[in-house]
Structure 1
Amino acid sequence: MKTLSGINLIWHSIRPQGGMDRHVLDLIAGFSARDIPVRAIARTVAWPGKPPANVEFVVLPDRTPFQRFNNNRFDRKAYDYIEKGWPVIGISRVTGGPVDLSISGGTHLAHLMDKGKKKPGYFDRQVIANEKALYEHSRAIVTHSRRVHDEIVRDYRIDPSKIHVLYPPVDTGFFNRDLEEKRSEIRHSLGVKDDQFLLLFPSNNHELKGADLILEALEKLGPSFVLAVAGKKELKHPRVLNLGFREDMPALYTAADATILASKYEAFGLVGPESIACGTPVLFSDTIGAVEVLSEPGCYRFRRNVLELERLLEKTAERFREGSLRVSAPAKCIHYPYVFDDYLEELIGLLRA
């Protein structure tokens, strides 16, 4: 087994947001806690609070106001700033040299197909080329769902023997049922009544996450349903409660009666196990990777159409009225080792192999 004198980690945005951004924060803190130095190479860094020890941030500032150009430039330049002799973890679509381990939260080709975009544009082709180069030059690849594993094999013709499915972990010290006794108080602070059915919609991309489909289903149901949007962008609709960007997600999960996503493309959907860990079930369309490893009463699955979602909302609303919708045993509904330390040990094992 190799010793790890340090790790290069390449990801364009190190900040306290959802999805892969949050996962990268946890990875860096986890390596640091094990006394493994990290050189984190990014376009932007906004570490929440005091950064952990033994972590060096290298920032490659943007050169233009155009996001896609900046991303492509970063993917092609970031490798030049690695600490030589340390293994490289590529999470952005980094090119320029061999990568010991890449982590894929989804593929661009499948994302385009699920969105219905049949002809990739110029920047799409650049992203796909960078992605293919990353997978080809990676000694090992970690995917966050079986779905993404299959996409990489099918669309990029990568040898499946070097792809490892590791479902993403949940910080159970943060996402748990500790706030259950304050649930009513949190709901009231949001302006939600006891008899209202509160659906939490964590989203920074409402079109991709299925807002139109969700709202169409809600319009066919009674006024007791409230859709609370947690994200930077407002969703304008009379049935919507816009909460803005929030860092108190455990409180919001706890307050909600269900968390919902109807994404056109979602490689995994970490909000699923996070919500379940807080005692709140999720309503997930079958286009979301996490449905592979989540089950009732933690996860209710529906086909991605309005009629199916309507039926599911009526079913869960009935359980809400009966007082039987809360998830009392989250671990029985999440069917993979979702504790962060276990996941990190798997990654370290792949780096040392």
Structure 2
Amino acid sequence: MNVPSGVNLVFHSIRPGGGMERYVMDVIAELCRRGISVRGIARKVDWHDAPQGAEFVVMRDRTPVSRLNNLLFERNALHACRPDWKTIGISRVPGAVDLAIVGGTHIGHLHDKGKRYPGLFDRLTIRHETQFYRKAKLIMPHSKRVAGEISQLYDIPVSKVAVHYPPVDTQKFSLAAREKREAIRQTLGIRSDQFMLLFPSNNHKLKGAELILQALQAFGGKVILVVAGKAPLQAPHVVNAGFCQDMPALYAAADATILASKYEAFGLVGPESILCGTPVLFANTIGAVEVLREPGCYVFGRSVDELMDCLQKVVNLREEGLPRSPEWVGQSLDYPYSIFMHVNNLLSLLG
């Protein structure tokens, strides 16, 4: 494995957040830990304690329209790269990169939304995305589902595509977070006889809030939905925790974590929650179900009845007393989830 002296990484938002934002910061931190310099090119950067060896180029927005700013950023971002370094593209840059990392495809997203007629910005995004895939030397999707979309919907040769599931920071997400479990539950007002169901979401509609709320009606106040995200969700038996900086403690406080997304390329909250000792309820539309297993992951079809049955099963298991041990975690995660192994694979693909 050849180790580059430096890497350009293009992603529109390098700052604390969920999903791909967290992934990008983890990858940059691990590259810098190995002595590999990183130039991050982004629209927005907020990382006050960035590691030594990381530098950032911020390309300022030119218009008040966010989607237009994203397109302009994608068209111009590669100009800010160091030409003597390898380049990783995560934003859909319509130019040549050494490695394209893909968390989800836009056509797949539109299909799952049921949007039959793409708008102007959708068409421009798909144009960028198609060029991004065609010009990349190699493509690393975060699930087999996404790999299938890239080859089938964009006509990309399978030989260019190598699936590697996203990692988790095991120093941050671990069973040690359970030390704060009772304190967090008290802060949220969750009684010991209530089942705390955690819903991490910054887009309630896409994450399946309507389906979840319909299923919860059968449980009355026995199950409390705790929403972790910037936007509140107004409904009975819901607690809005807001944006949470200490997600490991929130996972550990919960009895289960849920996603019922219409489209979710992977769903990093799954392994994060499991590593903190809390099982997940995932719709079968979520990419992570490819590598998550019982007793840590319980899968349901996107219907009220199937979700109710799945939730009742996990509620019953909680009352029986689920074990919380490294063995329980190991049985539930069926892929190499450490950031160390993931970056090894990434560097191998960079060549």
Structure 1 Cα separation of the partners of residues 177 and 46 of structure 2 = 27
Contact 2:143–2:163 (Cα < 8 Å) also in 1? yes
Post-superposition offset of 1:220: 2.3
Cross-structure match for 2:334: 335
Structure 1 Cα separation of the partners of residues 324 and 52 of structure 2 = 39
Structure 2 Cα separation of the partners of residues 210 and 168 of structure 1 = 22
Cross-structure match for 1:22: 22
Cross-structure match for 2:252: 254
- Structure 2's unaligned 5+ residue stretches are none
Structure 2 Cα separation of the partners of residues 246 and 337 of structure 1 = 27
Q: Residue type of the partner of 2:322?
A: S
Post-superposition offset of 1:325: 6.7
Structure 1 Cα separation of the partners of residues 126 and 179 of structure 2 = 48
Note the alpha carbon deviations across 1:292-316, whole angstroms, 9 max, x for none.
0001110000001111001111111
- Structure 1's unaligned 5+ residue stretches are none
Structure 1 Cα separation of the partners of residues 122 and 336 of structure 2 = 34
Contact 2:62–2:69 (Cα < 8 Å) also in 1? yes
Post-superposition offset of 1:51: 1.7
Cross-structure match for 1:276: 274
Cross-structure match for 2:106: 108
Contact 1:176–1:250 (Cα < 8 Å) also in 2? yes
Pairing of 1:295-314 with structure 2 (within 5 A): 295-314=293-312
Q: Within the alignment, does 1:81 sit opposite 2:76 as a pair?
A: no
Cross-structure match for 2:12: 12
Structure 2 Cα separation of the partners of residues 93 and 125 of structure 1 = 13
Q: Within the alignment, does 1:209 sit opposite 2:207 as a pair?
A: yes
- The number of equivalent residue pairs is 350
Structure 1 Cα separation of the partners of residues 144 and 132 of structure 2 = 19
Pairing of 1:1-353 with structure 2 (within 5 A): 2-47=2-47, 49-95=48-94, 97-324=95-322, 326=324, 329-352=328-351
Post-superposition offset of 1:3: 4.6
Contact 2:113–2:262 (Cα < 8 Å) also in 1? yes
Q: Relative to 1, partners in 2 of residues 1:63 and 1:298: Cα closer, same or farther, differing over 3 Å?
A: same
Structure 1 Cα separation of the partners of residues 157 and 265 of structure 2 = 20
Tell me the C-alpha RMSD between the 2 structures: 1.2
Post-superposition offset of 1:190: 1.6
Structure 1 Cα separation of the partners of residues 65 and 232 of structure 2 = 22
Q: Relative to 1, partners in 2 of residues 1:115 and 1:241: Cα closer, same or farther, differing over 3 Å?
A: same
TM-score after normalising by structure 2: 0.97
Instruction: Report the 3-state secondary structure (helix = DSSP H, G, I; strand = E; otherwise coil) of the residue aligned with 2:337.
Output: coil
Give the fraction of aligned pairs with identical amino acids, expressed as a percent: 55
Structure 2 Cα separation of the partners of residues 304 and 327 of structure 1 = 30
Structure 1 Cα separation of the partners of residues 165 and 329 of structure 2 = 16
Contact 1:257–1:326 (Cα < 8 Å) also in 2? no
Structure 1 Cα separation of the partners of residues 105 and 258 of structure 2 = 22
Contact 2:2–2:348 (Cα < 8 Å) also in 1? no
Contact 2:172–2:248 (Cα < 8 Å) also in 1? yes
* Structure 1 residue ranges, 4+ long, deviating more than 6 angstroms after superposition: none
Structure 2 Cα separation of the partners of residues 103 and 226 of structure 1 = 36
Contact 1:319–1:325 (Cα < 8 Å) also in 2? no
9-18 vs 325-334, which moves further:
325-334
Structure 2 Cα separation of the partners of residues 60 and 168 of structure 1 = 26
Structure 2 Cα separation of the partners of residues 273 and 267 of structure 1 = 14
Q: Residue type of the partner of 2:254?
A: A
Q: Residue type of the partner of 1:141?
A: I
